[in-house]
Amino acid sequence: MDVYYLERSIANKGDSYVSKYVKKALKSGKGAIKITKQAACDRVDVYKLMGVYYWLVNKQKKAYKWWDKSIKEGDRIGARLELSRTYFEVGKRLFEPKSKHQKLNGITAEEYLEKARVLFEEMDLQWDLEQLEKVKRGEQVPIV
């Protein structure tokens, strides 16, 4: 929730809570990472959210590192739902004009979005498919 609130706060330019959520999101993320050392099932999601956090605070290199970890862990444990949403998040962020890079691990934003779409369709995730279409139209969508 803290990462979600951070993103909303940044979107509302002039919001006085940005620095509050930067600190809260980082603290929450570090705590979640400690917990996932014992519970692998949440690791993919936590890594994805750490990537989003670093993206929002303009540390794209660190964001890419966390997303890479999320993808590798998702592949390793077969976490298709979490992996599909990491693909979506990476594709969405690489698609943004402020992205310094056009690829992560040699894969473009469009390719990540396509990987996400395939998995969303296989799992019949209609809401996620709707969010993906919004991104392709250039609309803002929440963190998934």
Map out the domains of the chain as residue ranges: 42-136
What are the DSSP calls for 7-34, one per residue?
Answer: HHHHHSTT-TTHHHHHHHHHHHHHHHHH
- Res 15: pLDDT: 65
Residue 14: its pLDDT value, please? 67
Q: Rounded to whole angstroms, what are the CA distances from 69 to 6, 79, 80, 86, 137?
A: 22, 13, 15, 10, 28
Supply the pLDDT for residue 2: 85
Which pLDDT value is given to residue 37? 77
Q: Look at the block and give the residue holding tokens 């590798």.
A: 72
Own/partner long-range contacts of 62-66 (Cβ < 8 Å, ≥24 apart):
63/93, 64/101, 64/104
As a whole number of angstroms, the distance between CA 9 and CA 17 comes to 6
Please give the sequence-ordered ranges of beta strands (E in DSSP) within 26-122, or none if there are none: 103-104, 107-108
First to last CA, the chain: 11
- The pTM of this model reads 0.85
**What is the gyration radius of the CA atoms in the chain, in angstroms?**
15
Per-residue pLDDT of the chain (144 residues; tens, 9 = 90+): 888 888 888 788 766 778 888 888 888 888 888 888 777 778 999 999 999 999 999 999 999 999 999 999 999 999 999 999 999 999 999 999 999 998 999 999 999 999 999 999 999 999 999 999 999 998 888 777
